[in-house]
Amino acid sequence: MYKNSVLLEILAVLHPGVPIACHTTYGSIVMQDIGESIPCLMDDAFKQRLKNHTSTRLVPEEAIQEKYPEFTLLHNLRILRMERSKRLVESDVFGLADYPFYSDDIKKSWLDYRQALRDITSTYTIPVTDANDNLVGVVWPSKPVSG
């Protein structure tokens, strides 16, 4: 089993410019460039032509397996960075030099929080995600009390 989005990224590199559809298995990969348009409702004969075409042109599964760890890591790092960016945007107001903090301690706690968010990719250099692309095992810094 592969992550669909990772599998599609690998196939785009291994078969540039070829329209490909897939689910999460090697057997689900279908190249959709057989020289005829894809009908709205595919009959069994057309599905078989797609399968036959794909089986003769598709790279061996070993080529995908070889690239899978690297592409999975890049995918998971993108997810980690997106979540980090979301949290940074949510706290941007507290990073403004003229934000009216009630005390220097509160200001420092927000600056430390934002720095910890920026450092998260150094802390988690090999993030892991579940089947739904949720980060697993990442402990995010605690958001300080507003003020």
**pLDDT tens digits for range 94-115:** 888 888 988 989 899 999 999 9
Same domain, 89 and 127: yes
Range of the domain at 39: 4-59
Residues 118 and 89 placed together within one structural domain of the fold: yes
Is the Cβ–Cβ distance between 75 and 5 less than 8 Å? Answer: yes
The pTM is what?
Answer: 0.82
CA 117 to CA 92: how far, in whole Å? 12
Tokens of 114: 């934002």
Residue 127 near residue 135, CB atoms below 8 Å: yes
Q: For residue range 8-46, list pLDDT tens digits in order.
A: 999 999 999 999 999 999 999 999 888 877 778 888 988
Distance CA 77, CA 22 (A): 23
Tell me how many domains the chain contains.
2
**Domain-embedded: residue 124:** yes
